[in-house]
Amino acid sequence: MTRSDPDEGAWRSEQIETAVREIERYLLAHPNASDTLQGVQDWWLAGLATTPSLEVVQAALDRLVDAGVVAGRPVPGGIVYRRVRQEDRV
């Protein structure tokens, strides 16, 4: 597949959606989990047959942050992500 291939955008979008669903599943099973981008890739998405790129993981986390499902907290060296609890939602 080349960069100009129209299927590439659909393929990437599918990867992001798969990562979003897997992160949501992981957080249902581990509601107190928190981790960095690398940790999300290594641990939260370990159940996937193919490990998504960090770019795909970041895009999935961005969607979940935008949806209010996940929150990111800046820490030295990066951002730690965690599930937004019901009591945290306004």
Structural domain that includes position 54: 6-88
Assess if residue 60 is contained within a domain. yes
Assess if residue 22 is contained within a domain. yes
The token pair at 8 is 């590439």
Assess if residue 47 is contained within a domain. yes
Residue 88 has what pLDDT? 60
Contact 45, 51 (CB under 8 A): yes
Tell me the pLDDT of the chain averaged across its residues: 91
The token pair at 70 is 């996940």
Q: How many domains does the chain have?
A: 1
CATH number of residue 75's parent domain:
1.10.10.10
The token pair at 86 is 């019901």
Assess if residue 1 is contained within a domain. no
Residues 6+ apart with CB under 8 A from 12: 56
Per residue in 36-77, pLDDT tens?
Answer: 999 999 999 999 999 999 999 999 999 999 999 999 999 998
